[in-house]
Structure 1
């Protein structure tokens, strides 16, 4: 158990006496505030904040971070508030403590929502001061180290959250040492049996491998010394969780994973890194395609190193990483190394800038997300460990997660480019937006002024920025569509009584909105389009004929028998076409106002619509407009001779007419004839009749019918 005096000696090695004294003062304040409180292990509670400060001191964090670590549970667990901390230790420390503190005063529907809200609050605090996340990571690390005293179910929940959120965040911020400890501790808590088996196997293999590891290390050292390079060669051992993940993802046994020997070479300069690379490549044969230069193109978290894989003696694969001492510090402590190196130049500041850029991206996601659960899902998506590097047409480099598509690329360039994207060129050839990108490709995005995001992009967009922006745009687009449709429905209902919204006057409309709890007219129109409020009843209430919840039969009939609503095919998300009867332009149609779905268009002869006529007030009289846009699904059944190649013949004939086939299925009628069911996209009834006529003209086709229900 660490004491304040032991911590004091660490602090004096890099802080001045005044700063060290301030950290001590924060400790005594926390000790007094937590007096009488014990941890589950039975220790005084203050041992936890002291240990958190010790973790940060090992990273050489500044005195304000250490003070915040000492005080991080004071607001949550004692009667002391943020203002009291601010008056004692300054506003900066108070803000850091508040950012780390959990939300305790709010009620949540579920534990998941509570965790999401806490993380969202922390992300906002991170945007103001990045040190919030460093204190939080140190807090979580000490909690993980002392997980054994908790109930099994609670320990598993905390371990899972750590592996899903905090370990990837540590990775994203370049804090590799913290990330590895998170993963190993989390793995042991979630799968204790698997962890102990792998640990035992690793210990056993260590003895068998020791001689060969030493032999390879001496060979590498000797070759480098001969070339005059003063380097340190260290044998690396894979940590438990990475062994487990590789065994699971690559479906390999432990012995196959441990066949690879890994070494790290620490040198004095960037120039020496490349010279050493040449030496090891001349010593052992490099494996093609396995060289990665993260010095020229650093990872998103600022990580820099040269990676190569060599084929050693007896065909043993050897992984080698080559980096400078400063790069090693950056790889282990990431953004925390910024405070250690901040006076020494560029690279640490670049790492810090990248971290701030990521946090700003989190903030943008938070503003566009609908709720905290949606936000935390976006964060999980964003925490990809693998990256690819692609080029813009002007030679700029963009970093994206593996599996990213042109849609992700477009949103990475700019939100407006993503929203107006229509096509892409990959290495100067036209390619589908859904094609996964590969490192080194040049991507060009083609845009159009009137274009808008497509809901199908959700199927292949992988970055959190792309998914959040698509969702945000579609939400607003749905709102615009529903307001426009709601206005048309209400105007039509009012027209049945010889009135309209403009004739009612602003005062009467505002009075109605106030009485029914609406902030503005658009909210009412949105509710009407979604089927939550019926147009005839709303019209009746607006006209002042009755303030009851029931429409008069006369007005309902006037709404249904009056002027019908014209469907143009451009109404957007709030008008959908029934899948039971597949209406197309030219069919007599009728609408049903479905709750939260808007108007569902049916054919007048649809059997399902007959059942819906009991709720007459939900029916909407519809007709097709003179000019209708878009393509509509129609279902055909074709009876053909049962012979080889007939489906290909039918598909070719339909495609020759420029018609898209959405679905095709077959069903044997008997040994002589087969039914072929087709779903095709058509413009209207005339277009469908042409397709059916072309199909009937084939000698092997016996009958073509349109399926009505």
Structure 2
């Protein structure tokens, strides 16, 4: 193709095109790439020309066509940004520079880098969407000619195309490009799978004849009877689309029903619904397979009616119904904004403003706190179909398929999401994990003081909701840890007759390498450090063991010389209880309480049993025991429990809330004790408190050595 051929392609839809500008760009690009060759052996400049030709099919403006011709000159030749500004103006130079930057992004790299590069990609999109249009056309031509590349490069480019560029084209409404990119990548990534689909199609056609022709004729017949003028097109779905359905539904090819698709293009918007009526009168509609994107358009401007019916011989067929103007946008997607006809921008009422589309797409990405959240949000947006739900006032909320009332609440406002306690769908109360469907009306119930729950992370589907939940949980956890840490340090200081002043905490934080007193308390509350460590940091002389205490390393009697021991986590024995040791190769002896359930599994392995007993005398308070407490959910109860434990000269090393209800909550408190008498004293003090409903010693056989 030479410059005149390209000019003719542009002038077919834009007679007022600046032919001289295109010819100059053609000549400049050809000169810059002179001597460069593609892997196929062709002159390199054939590639930019082919990219420009692809963009003419979308009837794009002169600046985009010129950018396609020049999109590799900054990257691969001696040409510079300043040269392009001088020769072709700032608009073209900016576009070429944008495409160059995208070319340098490794979108299939490691997760963190990939997320950051995705962010850059969306920033480029926000600046000028035509950059992405050129990049997509560039990728399409590269995939069409991929056979000339090395095998490993083919796989890398195909995977990147399948994961990033094809979904992006679909998200922009360019479904034809998405399908071709997917099929070209599928050809490389799974050639056997693709060939098997094509072979089965050929067999099916041989057995049943030309189904597409017969069904198309049936639809035309029904439209003629109804007096509706429209064009009818039919086709078999692309091999990759069928392969994906087979994987999703876990069905073989023979059991797939809707492998044919039909499109009806009407003369007017009103005729779309008349066509729908005619089709549903003739064939039975398949429940749950109807979507009206005319009354509820997609954010990229896509409008169409989708219905699936049981057609000839009971075969399911999908029918898309749209007007000619809707079809133009359906083919071009967001690119329809730049489409030309007869020398002027096409006046299509359904074409969306790219700036608004980008704004809606990127709004939630900006709120992502880290790379993983951003990448998750991008992939959710790119890979998911959308459902449209309504607020009680009739406002539309767009969500990805699989979204729940939690996602709906956060889509309205973060404050609504955080305070959500329940939801009604179409007037009926439903669980928060319910998957929403198209057209449902959703009412969110809120309550003051409600906070997001950890389980919501598994319920939410959107990046926006997950990000907000994470942020709230982090803030709530920190508040809770600081509060708990303050109680732990107060009790620990009182235990040695000191006060936990702000100055003391500041000094301890500095010595432990922490940011400040609040950071110290948060680390205490989350059990990252212990109150004992804080005491030892400030008052090593008070924290030191007294001379009459038994050395922790010599707490048991009966070990062989050189043997080490460890208390079993499953039963947590303490001095004063009857014990037995079990040998483990390379790990020494594990000490169990004599009534530990785990010992029943080892009764036939008597050669591993070691007769042990605790050393008599005073043991230090270092033996951790887990207590399972059920407490009243009232103000001050937790603080009082910590005080009661501290009064018994015991230290709390960790605390975990298992279940929180409006009236009671259950928690595990790890307490450092001397012996069984010390344990008895702590339990007795807790059981005597009116707000402590139950105290149990936690023994968990699953925590075996």
**TM-score of the aligned structures, taking structure 1 as reference length:** 0.70
Alpha-carbon spacing, 1:534–1:249, altered in 2? closer, same or farther (3 Å): closer
Alpha-carbon spacing, 1:479–1:23, altered in 2? closer, same or farther (3 Å): farther
Matched, 1:279 2:282: no
Alpha-carbon spacing, 1:338–1:110, altered in 2? closer, same or farther (3 Å): closer
Q: Distance in 2 between matches of 1:207 and 1:630?
A: 82
1:346 aligned to which of 349, 362, 366: 349
Matched, 1:368 2:371: no
Alpha-carbon spacing, 1:416–1:626, altered in 2? closer, same or farther (3 Å): closer
Partner of 1:628: 638
CA shift for structure 1 position 126? 1.4
Alpha-carbon spacing, 1:101–1:235, altered in 2? closer, same or farther (3 Å): same
CA shift for structure 1 position 192? 0.6
Q: Distance in 1 between matches of 2:279 and 2:88?
A: 53
Matched, 1:294 2:299: no
Q: Tell whether the 8 Å contact from 2:400 to 2:462 is kept in structure 1 after alignment.
A: yes
Classify the secondary structure of the residue corresponding to 1:64. helix
Q: Distance in 1 between matches of 2:485 and 2:85?
A: 52
Q: Tell whether the 8 Å contact from 1:403 to 1:437 is kept in structure 2 after alignment.
A: yes
CA shift for structure 1 position 539? 9.3
CA shift for structure 1 position 207? 4.7
Q: Tell whether the 8 Å contact from 1:172 to 1:300 is kept in structure 2 after alignment.
A: no
Partner of 1:191: 190
Q: Distance in 2 between matches of 1:235 and 1:478?
A: 57
Matched, 1:243 2:242: yes
CA shift for structure 1 position 312? 3.7
CA shift for structure 1 position 442? 1.9
Q: Tell whether the 8 Å contact from 2:10 to 2:17 is kept in structure 1 after alignment.
A: no
Q: Which runs of 5+ in 2 are unaligned?
A: 547-567, 573-595, 597-613, 643-661, 668-685
Q: Distance in 1 between matches of 2:347 and 2:102?
A: 38
Q: For residues 509-524 of structure 1, what are the structure 2 equivalents within 5 Å?
A: none
Q: For residues 263-274 of structure 1, what are the structure 2 equivalents within 5 Å?
A: 263-274=262-273
CA shift for structure 1 position 375? 2.0
1:621-660 CA distance string (max 9 Å, x none): xx9995228999xxxxxxxxxxxxxxxxxxxxxxxx9989
Q: Distance in 2 between matches of 1:98 and 1:615?
A: 68
Matched, 1:707 2:693: no
Q: Which runs of 5+ in 1 are unaligned?
A: 544-550, 559-577, 583-605, 633-656, 663-682, 693-703
Alpha-carbon spacing, 1:503–1:99, altered in 2? closer, same or farther (3 Å): same
Alpha-carbon spacing, 1:626–1:309, altered in 2? closer, same or farther (3 Å): closer
Q: Tell whether the 8 Å contact from 1:173 to 1:355 is kept in structure 2 after alignment.
A: no
Partner of 1:403: 402
CA shift for structure 1 position 336? 1.3
Partner of 1:70: 69
Q: Distance in 1 between matches of 2:700 and 2:307?
A: 64
Q: For residues 613-692 of structure 1, what are the structure 2 equivalents within 5 Å?
A: 627-628=637-638
Q: Distance in 2 between matches of 1:658 and 1:482?
A: 21
Classify the secondary structure of the residue corresponding to 1:348. coil
Alpha-carbon spacing, 1:226–1:193, altered in 2? closer, same or farther (3 Å): same
Number of corresponding residues: 593
Matched, 1:355 2:337: no
Q: Distance in 1 between matches of 2:2 and 2:688?
A: 84
Matched, 1:150 2:149: yes
Partner of 2:169: 170
Q: Tell whether the 8 Å contact from 1:233 to 1:266 is kept in structure 2 after alignment.
A: yes
CA shift for structure 1 position 190? 0.9
1:484-527 CA distance string (max 9 Å, x none): 77788889999989787765899x99xx98x9999888778767
CA shift for structure 1 position 467? 1.6
1:360-402 CA distance string (max 9 Å, x none): 33xx32442312x442232112234433332211122222222
Q: Distance in 1 between matches of 2:106 and 2:211?
A: 59
Q: Distance in 1 between matches of 2:94 and 2:325?
A: 31
**TM-score of the aligned structures, taking structure 2 as reference length:** 0.70
Classify the secondary structure of the residue corresponding to 1:236. strand
CA shift for structure 1 position 109? 13
1:303-323 CA distance string (max 9 Å, x none): 222233344444344432221
1:231-276 CA distance string (max 9 Å, x none): 2121222111111122222233323336765322211001112222
Q: Tell whether the 8 Å contact from 1:122 to 1:132 is kept in structure 2 after alignment.
A: no
CA shift for structure 1 position 104? 9.0
CA shift for structure 1 position 334? 1.0
Partner of 1:46: 45
CA shift for structure 1 position 433? 1.5
RMSD: 5.0
Classify the secondary structure of the residue corresponding to 1:235. strand
Greater mean deviation of Cα atoms: 31-40 or 174-183: 31-40
Q: Tell whether the 8 Å contact from 1:303 to 1:327 is kept in structure 2 after alignment.
A: yes
Partner of 1:638: none
Q: Tell whether the 8 Å contact from 1:102 to 1:118 is kept in structure 2 after alignment.
A: no
Structure exhibiting the larger radius of gyration computed from Cα positions: 2
Greater mean deviation of Cα atoms: 54-63 or 263-272: 54-63
